[in-house]
Amino acid sequence: MCGRFTQYYSYDEVHAFLNLIPAQSNLQPRYHICPTDPIDVVLAADGGKLSIERMRWGLAPYWWKEPLKKLPATFNARAETVATKPFFRSAFRSKRAVIPASGYYEWQDRADGKQPWYFTPARAPIFLIAGLWESWSDPEPPKETVRSATMIITEPNKFVAQYHDRMPVLLEKSEIGNWLSGAYGLERLVPAPDDWLKAWPVSRAVNSSKAPDLPELIKEIQL
């Protein structure tokens, strides 16, 4: 499962990488994004352009009738069940998204406990995770509308399998249009090539969701 990740690019960097429509945005570097935090999400916009939006990480389907605090963990959607599981199947059909990221954390089971590793693109400045989004209306007053997103995870490639048994579905920049339009289906939810990522061990401070959001979290340590 991908339960923590980073988005520490500037707006100029992500705009140049994805050719986003102009927008006023002051993106702050973030090194420790946890489920239910707000995240940057890329959606299709008019004229074949892309826009970047802020959404809750953890998808709330439109039909959910309880408070968000009762929602199960929906920050990841498994590739094997994303088209059939009630929480995700409607969004998979019609509400595709791309989640830009600078990197993500995953945990390796070791004799002395869980060791976090930080995965980041081997070449590109940003990687693109296949995702879904939804718009949900709180049934309780003041009946706030919340937009939320999830990232799709799949089996690991050989590189990631050294550390963990799942990885996000990563897209090429050229594939964004086909993903967002729905032209790509389940056949695209496969592991990225082995050379797309690099990784290094980081402090176990990341093991706590209360760890401060600081760049020191992604600093390589010696094991």
List 13, 80, 106, 140, catalytic entry: 106
Determine how many CB atoms are found less than 10 A away from the CB of residue 128. Answer: 23
Could you say which of 2, 80, 175, 187 is catalytic?
A: 2
Q: Could you tell me which of 104, 100, 103, 81 has the C-alpha nearest to residue 91? A: 81
Q: How far, in Å, are 62, 70, 151 from residue 59 at the CA level? A: 9, 12, 9
Clarify whether 155 is annotated catalytic. no
CA contacts within 13 A on the Cβ side of 39: 34
CB 220 within 8 Å of CB 129: no
2 is catalytic: yes
127: tokens are 């990687």
Dig out the tokens for 195 from the structure: 């050379």
Q: Count Cβ atoms within 10 A of the Cβ of residue 105 and give its class: 0-12 exposed, 13-18 middle, 19 or more buried.
A: buried
| Active-site residue set | 2, 106
